[in-house]
Structures are given as structure tokens and as C-alpha cells.
């Protein structure tokens, strides 16, 4: 007890004491925008070393209770700014608890009266939401039967959390907490009695032809009841002389929804063309990439931003594959073998994208994540540096070490946040057979 009222350093925050106020649902923001009573409530409790707010919905779909202030509209951001200013004036610290209730919701709270969403379609029996009853009066009501999220929708909810975190930063919060317990959305995926997903299967067929200077690749694939996708690639290298060469690399994807179209309507053609000029240890590259369609380029792993995509401007952080996006890349490579250091290489690149526009899309999953405003200057860029060393001999031969640094910046109209990222990657290939 002697330490309870002493300061505590928390990841760069200096808490004035070790008392943390737990989240408590208030349901008193009648318009979902923090009002003067919200300001007063948190200001009066700023004596705690740290305040964790009530659950803050990341989207309208994430609501399970009436009158909770959210972080999915700019008006809410402005309201939280007033709250945070009052807490900081009283020398307090405050975190936003980001929240999606999943199936513990009611149709009266959902956009257009739709069913709540979850990992499965299992009803949250004997669980109440605070919503409107049959007489349109607020009160506890049995949670409505949910529907299972598609893989594409899961990616949309991830994006909702990312946007809400960015809005929390804009609003002046000192940090965030993600509500991952109490039977809400995150636990609905973890809990095996709720989550009975099998998810979609995927299949593909294709092949590749290559000779000394030319290669062709062609694949056709499908994600069950979501889309058919066709991919083609051709590469050509022309040797100008023994020390110089010119290389071309063309990629194209054609994606169309089919079957039950569980990822919504998709009609997308995406392509990239890269040209590279190599002279000695130096390689200079220029790439243009174009996304044609009101939906972004989709691929296996898109739901979790995992997997890989073979297209010219998919780089460390961004893939530059938003609806109707166009992008250019400038790249420089250097091979230190020319200086007597075989295995050491360096890459620097800059990619810039613009023209993102999905205003005409009829896909409810992609547009739920973000709708680009054509009146905004929708642009972003990424700058990457990469240095890699591969051990050339000895017991650790082929083991590599790579240091990557990435900077991403965007205008307010782009859906991803700015980032500065450093990665250290170590790889040790092992021959099993």
C-alpha cells in the first residue's frame, strides 16, 4: 500500500499514482458523441493514475448498447478531444477501450436493421443487448441471431480497429486498450463452443515455361463461392553487352466473383509493368501499377493481410492495390560484390499511389471498411531501405540477415495510417530432403 500513491512509468507515460480506473459502461451519450456530461465525468475521475474509458465502438456494426460514445465519426473525435483536454488539464492520463461486441447486439442497433455479426451464426442465448424494444423504448433486449462473417468482412473489421486507433491518437488519447474478453467479438473467435467455422477452400491450376531470357507463367484459381482469379506473368531479359542488361516484368490479375459471392460483387483487373536497367553492380528500376475496378485486388491471405501477392508495387507495408489506384515506383539496387563483399546487397525504393476511388462499388464488405471521397486528395507514398547479407561459406552458409526500414505517409483520405517501421529478419534455409 505504501507504493499505491507513488508515480509509475508506463511505456513513456508518467502516471502520477498506481490507481487505474477500470472501464465502466455509462450509456449516457445520447447522440454517440461525447458531450459535456462525458467531459465532466472523466474530468472528475482524473485523480486516478490512469483512466480506461468505457467501451468505445469502432463502428456502428460494433455497437451492443445504446448511447455509447464511439470512434467511427469525426464528430466523435472532436467530442473526445474535449474529454482528453479536460483530463490532461487535471494531470491525468486516459486510454480508449476499443470495442466490437459481435453477436451481443440487436438489429435495432445495426446499420439498416441488419443481423449482428460473429464468428458463427450461433445465438448468444440468455444474453441481453441494451437496445430498442418492440415499442422503440430503450432497455435490455435479447440479443438477435447473428450471421457469420465472411473472410473479406473480417479484414474490414480489422481495418475498423486500425481506423479507430488512428482516431484515438487524433483525439489526444494517451493509448488504447482492445476489449478482447467478456464474450464479445474477439472471444467469439477464440471460444470453440461459439466458433464452428470451416472457412472457404481454395484451389488453383497452372504452369510455367522458361528459357534463358524469356519466361511465361499462367495460373487460374478460385476461392470457394467467392471468386475466380486468373494470373499471368511474363519476364524478358535482353543482354546489351556483358556488363549491361535490360529486363521487363509484366503481371496481370483478373478477378470475378462467382457462386454465392460470399465476398460480394468483384470485377477487377490489376496489372503492373516493371523495367530494369543493370550496369555493373547498379540496377535502376521503374514500375507502373494500375488497379482497374471499384474493388481492391483480392488474394488468399487478404483477410489477415498475410500471404503474398506478386505484383510490382506490393512492397514492405503497402501493396498499392486499392480500388482504381495507380502507382509508380523508383528503385535502386547495389551489389557489393563489386567492392569485394559478396553476399551484401542494398535496395532503396520510393512508391507513390493516388486516384483511389470506390464510390461506385456495390460491394458491402469493402465499402464498410472505407469509402474514398473523390473530393479529397487521396494519395500516399512509401520509402523503403533494405540491406541484406548472405553468409557465403562455412557451417552457416546461406544464412542471411536483413535490416529493413519503411516509412509510409498518406493524406487524410487514405484508409491506412502513417507508419515508421524497422524489421530485422534472419533466415536459415534447411534442406530436409
Kindly state the helix (H) or strand (E) to which residue 187 belongs, with its residue range: helix 185-190
DSSP state of 169: H
**Residue burial 203-225, b: 16+ Cβ < 10 Å; e: rest:** eeeeeeeeeeeeeebebebbbee
* SS3 state of residue 198: coil
Cβ-based neighbours of 40, under 8 Å, separated by 6 or more? 86
- Residues whose CB is less than 8 angstroms from the CB of residue 327 and which lie 6 or more positions away in sequence, other chains included: 288, 289, 313, 320, 351, 352, 353, 354
CB atoms within 10 A of CB 2: 5
184 as an active site residue: the answer is yes
Give the cell for residue 355: 486516384
How is 291-308 classified by DSSP, letter by letter? EESSS----TTGGGT-S-
Q: Which of 388, 390, 389, 385 is nearest to 421 (CA)?
A: 385
Q: What is the largest CA-CA distance in the chain?
A: 83
Across the strands, what pairs with 377?
A: none
* Residue from 65, 130, 184, 317 carrying the catalytic annotation: 184
Task: Name the β-bridge partners of 388.
Answer: 345, 402
Are 76 and 32 contacting, i.e. CB atoms less than 8 angstroms apart? yes
Q: Which residues have a catalytic role annotated?
A: 184
Amino acid at each position: 500500500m505504501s507504493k499505491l500513491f507513488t508515480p509509475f512509468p508506463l511505456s513513456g507515460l508518467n502516471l502520477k499514482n498506481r490507481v487505474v480506473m477500470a472501464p465502466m459502461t455509462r450509456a449516457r451519450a445520447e447522440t454517440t458523441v461525447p458531450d459535456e456530461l462525458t467531459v465532466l465525468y472523466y474530468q472528475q475521475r482524473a485523480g486516478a493514475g490512469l483512466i480506461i474509458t468505457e467501451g468505445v465502438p469502432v463502428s456502428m456494426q460494433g455497437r451492443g448498447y445504446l448511447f455509447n460514445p464511439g470512434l467511427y465519426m469525426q464528430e466523435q473525435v472532436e467530442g473526445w478531444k474535449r474529454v482528453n483536454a479536460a483530463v490532461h488539464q487535471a494531470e491525468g492520463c486516459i486510454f480508449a477501450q476499443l470495442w466490437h461486441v459481435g453477436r451481443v447486439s440487436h438489429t435495432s442497433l445495426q446499420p439498416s436493421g441488419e443481423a449482428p455479426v460473429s464468428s458463427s451464426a450461433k445465438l448468444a442465448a440468455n444474453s441481453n443487448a441494451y437496445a430498442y424494444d418492440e415499442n422503440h423504448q430503450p432497455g435490455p433486449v435479447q440479443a438477435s441471431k447473428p450471421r457469420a462473417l465472411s473472410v473479406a468482412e473480417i479484414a474490414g473489421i480489422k481495418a475498423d480497429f486500425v481506423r479507430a486507433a488512428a482516431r484515438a491518437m487524433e483525439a489526444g488519447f494517451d493509448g488504447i486498450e482492445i476489449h478482447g474478453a467478456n464474450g464479445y467479438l474477439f472471444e467469439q473467435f477464440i471460444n470453440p463452443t461459439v466458433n464452428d467455422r470451416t472457412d472457404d477452400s481454395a484451389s488453383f491450376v497452372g504452369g510455367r515455361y522458361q528459357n534463358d531470357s524469356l519466361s511465361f507463367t499462367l495460373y487460374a484459381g478460385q476461392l470457394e463461392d467467392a471468386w475466380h482469379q486468373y494470373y499471368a506473368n511474363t519476364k524478358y531479359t535482353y543482354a546489351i553487352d556483358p556488363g549491361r542488361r535490360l529486363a521487363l516484368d509484366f503481371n496481370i490479375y483478373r478477378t470475378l466473383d462467382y457462386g454465392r459471392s460470399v465476398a460480394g460483387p468483384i470485377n477487377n483487373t490489376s496489372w503492373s509493368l516493371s523495367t530494369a536497367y543493370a550496369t555493373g553492380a547498379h540496377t535502376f528500376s521503374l514500375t507502373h501499377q494500375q488497379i482497374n475496378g471499384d474493388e481492391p485486388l483480392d488474394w488468399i491471405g487478404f483477410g489477415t493481410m498475410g500471404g503474398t501477392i506478386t505484383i510490382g508495387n506490393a512492397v514492405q507495408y503497402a501493396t498499392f492495390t486499392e480500388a482504381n489506384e495507380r502507382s509508380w515506383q523508383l528503385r535502386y539496387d547495389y551489389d557489393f560484390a563489386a567492392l569485394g563483399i559478396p553476399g551484401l546487397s542494398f535496395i532503396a525504393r520510393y512508391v507513390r499511389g493516388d486516384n483511389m476511388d470506390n464510390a461506385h462499388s456495390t460491394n458491402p464488405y469493402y465499402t464498410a471498411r472505407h469509402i474514398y471521397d473523390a473530393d479529397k486528395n487521396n494519395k500516399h507514398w512509401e520509402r523503403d531501405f533494405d540491406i541484406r547479407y548472405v553468409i557465403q561459406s562455412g557451417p552457416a552458409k546461406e544464412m542471411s540477415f536483413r535490416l529493413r526500414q519503411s516509412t509510409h505517409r498518406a493524406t487524410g483520405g487514405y484508409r491506412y495510417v502513417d507508419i515508421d517501421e524497422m524489421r530485422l529478419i534472419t533466415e536459415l534455409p534447411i534442406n530436409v530432403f
